[in-house]
Amino acid sequence: MKFYDCRTAPSPRRVRIFIAEKGLEIETIEVDLGSKEQLSSEFKKINPNCTVPVLLLDDGTRYTSTAGIRNYLEALHPTPSLMGENAMERGMVADTQWRIEMEGQVAMAEALRNSAPRMSGRALTGPFDYQQIPALAERGKLRVERFLNGVDSLIGNKAYAAGDFFSIADIDLLVVIDFAKWIKLELPEDAINARRWYEDVSSRESCKL
Ligand SMILES: N[C@@H](CCC(=O)N[C@@H](CS)C(=O)NCC(=O)O)C(=O)O
């Protein structure tokens, strides 16, 4: 099994933390997004969608999304559970994670990819080039601000994002909060619950990766 990673990118980090929490050792190959290695003909053989993370199995099967990789690994290594142990927990984790991905991570990608000079002509991932739309960058930034303002009530008095257990919802929330620093946005000063949760989760060994 091979894991195609990129140390500086948020989605591969979501898988890296997951792998570390499971205590798995998986051969890891670094893909240099900075030099556009994802667009090379070699990498297109691994993933024609030109994105990381990718998990390539020994029989040639490949998973090319964070969701696909984590679902596969969770089924293969159910302990410790990172997606919930029973029906109610699984529903709550999926629900919370989906909101974090759609309202936080997608908004953040919209803000960054439509404004960063190094992403000029690369406003969307994939084999085709798309021009930046400045209005989308502004809208994305506003959405990220609103998302960050909502983290305090998302956490509330719970220990973790989806309940009293650590899950992929925590991983993705941590990654998006760190990602937002790229556009100089952070949790509000008075977000007591969110900041208590952030300190706790970011002190885990897996989350230092
Ligand atoms: N929804 C995909 C997103 C993957 C993605 O967008 N990966 C980014 C890095 S975070 C990438 O490969 N970017 C390549 C590029 O910028 O061309 C997933 O969850 O795996």
Residues of the chain above pLDDT 90, percent: 100
Q: Which of 52, 66, 98, 118 to mutate to test the pocket of ligand 1 (most atoms within 8 A of CB)?
A: 52
Question: Does 10 sit in the ligand 1 pocket, CB within 6 Å?
Answer: yes
> What does the mean pLDDT of the chain come to?
97
pLDDT at 44 over 90: yes
Q: How far apart are CA 78 and CA 72, in angstroms?
A: 10
pLDDT at 163 over 90: yes
Residue 122, phi then psi, degrees to nearest 5:
-125, 45
Distance 104 CA to ligand 1 centre (A): 15
For 165-185, how does the pLDDT look when each residue is reduced to its tens digit (9 = 90+)?
A: 999 999 999 999 999 999 999
Q: How far apart are CA 120 and CA 127, in angstroms?
A: 15
For 56-111, how does the pLDDT look when each residue is reduced to its tens digit (9 = 90+)?
A: 999 999 999 999 999 999 999 999 999 999 999 999 999 999 999 999 999 999 99
| CA distances to 21, 33, 67, 83, 123 from 87, in Å | 21, 38, 18, 10, 38
- Provide the pLDDT for residue 155: 98
pLDDT at 209 over 90: no
- Domains defined for the chain, CATH in brackets: 2-76 (3.40.30.10), 87-208 (1.20.1050.10)
